[in-house]
Structure 1
């Protein structure tokens, strides 16, 4: 009789635990939902950052000075605002100051991308000074690249 009472007691406890488990929320589903929401928000943030970086890169590369000159179009100096002209002058002064220090240091080889950029800017009719500012090279290096034809 005791064996039968023990098995009935264990069975009733098991059934009771099963019924109680239906009333408790499944925490793993909540965690899965939280992780999914987090991954979606991270994905959206990275896409927003990529889009912003692309806009910034385009703004840096597509300034008015990079437009192809036509015979009737005004020169870039006439189109630029005074603030842009001030920035350009400051950059030129900084470039000239860096030229003094760079002449004392050993010259590094110029990357092929910069060489092709120098040639494209030269084809657009920009002066050596403007090319040196945009390519971060000294005027002497720009003249050497143009004279060597990319070699």
Structure 2
């Protein structure tokens, strides 16, 4: 009987380890939920940025010579883009594949923002004719 009383008194002084485990599990589940929520929020932000990319331009104080050289560079770049897009038009017309709905919504959103058809074509990897067709169809 003395041993029984000893174990009963001992049980009051020994800490219950299950409560500690339950508390740790609860903290872990809360932190996991918070991390999942943060990842979903970041993913949503990234998806929005990919859908609507603003046109970034770095502006620096420039002299007249730099402005002239920048204009020449832009003219050359436009000529290269037009030259590379010409073969794409012929290929696109011969291989008219269906355009994915995400691309269509991106094209419509960029058009709403006021971007030119050439800019939309570059950003969406579609030909200018395909961009015109998507805008004319309204995404249908």
* TM-score category, normalised to shorter length: 0.5 to 0.7
Matched with 2:69 is none
**Pairing partner for 1:24 from 14, 31, 55:** 14
Offset of residue 131 of structure 1: 1.4
Question: Do the aligned partners of 2:107 and 2:135 also contact (CA within 8 Å) in 1?
Answer: yes
Question: Do the aligned partners of 2:107 and 2:134 also contact (CA within 8 Å) in 1?
Answer: yes
Question: Do the aligned partners of 2:117 and 2:131 also contact (CA within 8 Å) in 1?
Answer: yes
Matched with 2:70 is none
**Does residue 110 of the first structure (1) align with residue 105 of the second (2)?**
no
- Once the two structures are superposed, residues 87-112 of structure 1 have per-residue CA deviations (whole angstroms, 9 ceiling, x without a partner) of xx6xx96xx58x75x93894431234
**What is the alpha-carbon distance in structure 2 between the residues aligned to residue 13 and residue 133 of structure 1?**
85
Matched with 1:51 is 41
Pairs aligned (count): 118
Offset of residue 142 of structure 1: 1.5
**Does residue 41 of the first structure (1) align with residue 18 of the second (2)?**
no
**What is the alpha-carbon distance in structure 1 between the residues aligned to residue 51 and residue 105 of structure 2?**
15
**What is the alpha-carbon distance in structure 2 between the residues aligned to residue 121 and residue 14 of structure 1?**
80
Report which of the two structures shows the higher radius of gyration computed on alpha carbons: 1
| Larger RCO (CA under 8 A, 6+ residues apart) | 2
5+ residue gaps, structure 2, are 61-73
5+ residue gaps, structure 1, are 1-10, 66-78
**What is the alpha-carbon distance in structure 1 between the residues aligned to residue 44 and residue 137 of structure 2?**
33
TM-score, L = length of structure 1: 0.54
Matched with 2:132 is 143
TM-score, L = length of structure 2: 0.57
**What is the alpha-carbon distance in structure 1 between the residues aligned to residue 100 and residue 50 of structure 2?**
20
